[in-house]
Structure 1
Amino acid sequence: MKYFLLGHTYPDGGYIDGDVVFDPPLEAYYQVGACSIEGRTVSVTMDTSVRKLSVDFFLTTSGAFFASAELAALLKLHKCDVQIIQADTRYFNGKNTEKTYFLVHAEQRLSCFDYQQSEYAGKALALERLAQGEHPDSFLVKGVRSVVIDEKCAADADFFFLKNVVLVDPIVSETLAKSMLNERLKVHLEELVIK
């Protein structure tokens, strides 16, 4: 199966950002796979540089990802272990955004990074540590140049974040990527290198 990186940057518009507020407030910083958002509401006030929000997926500097109502609906139809919570999204001047957006939160990350086939900084050392029986949870992979997914460990997931890999963006399956393209969603997909 092919996999794609669902990017948070856009060739025509760069980054999109805004201030994210959880109510009640989180005890620590927001982090995918490291906090619970159960029973919370979320609001986003876009930065002053965001004049018109037309994309279907974006990331804020808080680490929170947001999907348009159209993308959120697709996620619900696919194998995606995420919580989807409607967000109150407004421009800096207080006006509502044209589209409705939802926080996309994963409470866990998948251990499906193929350490042998992927290319990353310190690969020889990482493989040596794994060969000596060290568990992948004891270190982080950084400097990723290409990602290969271990399909058995991915368990047919259509949307997920990688565990123990410094990679911000989520991975989506070919099935979900095709659905996004068929719906003409404004997303940035980058096919992962297949070895």
Structure 2
Amino acid sequence: MNYYFLESQYPRRGFISGGTTFTPQLDMNYVAIENPLPEGTTAEVELLSSVRNLNVDYFETITGTRHVSDRFKELLEGANTNAQFIKTTVCYHDGRSVEKTYWTAHQLNRLDVFDYERSEYGRKAVIAASVQQPPRKIVKVVSRICLHEERIGEHEFFMLDYINIFKPIVSKDFYEVCCKHKLNLNVTEV
């Protein structure tokens, strides 16, 4: 099975991003949060001024949040994902609301499926040794990624654990389902 990175940069549109604020306000940086957000939490995204027309089904923000459209959320809820979806209000830089409904996809599954032998990355000998002899070192510079597909199982939407790559991964099968539902997603092959 093939896998794809979900991208927040779209051909002929550029990078889709903005800033995210949460209500109630978070006690720490969003990226450092490893637990579910409290029930009733909502989010608001103000898009960068370069974003004039948001008609995509996935984007990320400079604050590390990942956002999915209502239609994408429905498909994700039917797939093997444990993401928490936070109701999100998205508006353009000038205050106008966007046309679609969006959700913050929080706490995606993080899978330890990076193939340390077949992948190419910086400090390979040191990092590969840390897998067997903790503490585990984080892979920071990657030039080629190979996955242990047998460890992925039925997961359709996930992040890599112990790797400094912050893009979610979707399976080829799930991506094809998204295409059949005419979702506007941009992907690159893993």
Compute the TM-score of the two structures, normalised by the length of structure 2. 0.91
The CA deviation at 1:126 is 2.0
Q: Separation in 2 of the partners of 1:111 and 1:154?
A: 9
Equivalent residues in 2 for 1:61-140, closer than 5 Å: 61-106=62-107, 108-130=109-131, 133-135=132-134, 138-140=136-138
Q: Give the partner amino acid of 2:73.
A: A
Q: Separation in 1 of the partners of 2:16 and 2:32?
A: 18
Q: Separation in 2 of the partners of 1:156 and 1:116?
A: 23
Percent of aligned pairs with the same amino acid = 31
The CA deviation at 1:70 is 1.3
1:6: which partner in 2? 6
Q: Give the partner amino acid of 1:70.
A: R
In the alignment, structure 2 segments of 5+ residues that lack a partner are: none
Equivalent residues in 2 for 1:127-166, closer than 5 Å: 127-130=128-131, 133-135=132-134, 138-166=136-164
Q: Give the partner amino acid of 1:25.
A: Q
Q: Separation in 2 of the partners of 1:84 and 1:129?
A: 34
Kept after mapping to 1: 8 A contact 2:130/2:136: no
1:177: which partner in 2? 175
1:50: which partner in 2? 51
Q: String of CA shifts for 1:136-191, please: whole Å, max 9, x gaps.
A: x6211021122222123323210001111010101111121111121222111112
Q: Separation in 2 of the partners of 1:32 and 1:155?
A: 27
Higher mean displacement: 183-192 or 25-34:
25-34
- Number of paired residues? 189
In the alignment, structure 1 segments of 5+ residues that lack a partner are: none
Q: Give the partner amino acid of 2:133.
A: E
Compute the TM-score of the two structures, normalised by the length of structure 1. 0.89
What is the aligned-residue RMSD (CA, Å)? 1.7
Q: Separation in 2 of the partners of 1:48 and 1:113?
A: 37
The CA deviation at 1:71 is 0.9
Equivalent residues in 2 for 1:183-194, closer than 5 Å: 183-192=181-190
Kept after mapping to 2: 8 A contact 1:32/1:105: no
Q: Separation in 2 of the partners of 1:148 and 1:33?
A: 27
